[in-house]
Amino acid sequence: MTVGIVSVLFVAAAMVAVGAFAAAWRRDATAALAGIPLMFGGAGIAFAGVARFSARAAAAVQPPSTQIVVSVSGPPLGQEAAVLIAIAALALVAMGVGLAARAARIQGARQETSR
Amino acid sequence: MDSPHAIGFFVSSAIALGGAAFVALLPGRELRSLALLVAGLGVTGVDVSLSAGFAAAVVLVTFAGCAAMLARPDYRTFNWVAGRAWRQLGALGAALMFAVLAYAAYRGGFAHVQFNGGWLGTAAVGRLLLARDTFATEAVAALVLVALVVLTLMWRSRDRER
């Protein structure tokens, strides 16, 4: 049983797609916000996977080709991106929750006025 | 990757994808938040099996934070999509996106390297975040600050209305 970059990217793609489905399928804006951490988590998995399996060190850069190249991994830039993406997801959900609560209040006030 | 890591990867992937599916389909904010937390645990496990321990810890904290925010007791619904056709179109788009991404992953020619980092990677990621890519770190910090300000303003205006 082995895990490679393709397996990781499949899982990441599935996470992103399920997150997009959750954001699109939910009528309630606050419920749809739950799709954001899923999508960003999927992107983070892809970044961490590339850092683990395929990111070459700068000193060992070779011309891009479709052939398999074996060399030493570089600095974990993908892990860094995964960390930043996860924090950005939390910030976006916080902002979205605030804005959705505000929009719900405005919507409720308009409905009361129209009555 | 040795067998225990591979088993951990596949089990964690199943937990993450199962939790994500429940987030998309379950009714009720408490259940949805619980499913989001389970999905976060799965993503954390995947990151740990990929030797990204520090990123896994951050992911777990952020998923727990998101779940806590979405499970708030003063939850107010705001319907933002009116038409059923648009929702179905969005679902179809998500499926199409998965197909395209999976095809790209399957057909892509990737380099293969020997990973020489540790399982946690805190020092290396810290060096990148605070020395090499400081501007990106500060940009995300500014985003967090803006989000906290927006959230505080909304809470304050709600308290004033009461």
Q: Nearest CA of chain B to the CA of A21: how many Å?
A: 5
Give the pLDDT score at A59.
44
Contact call for A69 and B153, based on CB within 8 A: no
Span A14-72, pLDDT tens digits: 999 999 999 988 888 888 889 999 999 999 999 999 888 877 655 445 555 555 555 56
Residue with the bigger pLDDT between B138 and A57: it is: B138
Q: Pick the residue with more confidence: B10 or A106?
A: B10
Length of chain A: 115
Is the sign of the CA dihedral B107, B113, B119, B125 positive or negative? negative
Min Cα–Cα distance to chain B from A19, Å: 7
Neighbouring C-beta atoms of residue B20, cutoff 10 Å: 32
Which of B13, B89, B125 has its CB closest to that of A11?
B13
Structure tokens at B22: 């429940």
Q: Are B50 and A52 in contact (CB under 8 A)?
A: yes
Domain map (residue ranges) of chain B: 1-73, 121-162
**Number of structural domains found in chain A:** 1
Per-residue pLDDT tens digits for B33-43: 999 999 999 99
pLDDT for position B162: 61
* CB contact (8 A) between residue A41 and residue B43: yes
Contacting residues of A for B79, CB less than 8 Å apart: 27-29
A72: its two tokens:
């030493």
Residue, of B158 and B25, whose pLDDT is higher: B25
What is the reported pTM? 0.87
> Residue B15: what residue type?
I
Containing domain of residue A9, as a range? 5-114
Residue B66 pLDDT? 93
Average pLDDT over residues B69-94: 79
Q: How confident is the model at residue B157 (pLDDT cuts 50, 70, 90)?
A: confident
Q: How many CB atoms lie within 10 A of CB B22?
A: 18
Residues 13-42 of A with CB under 8 A from B: 13-38, 41
Averaged over B99-123, what is the pLDDT? 81
* pLDDT score for B18: 95
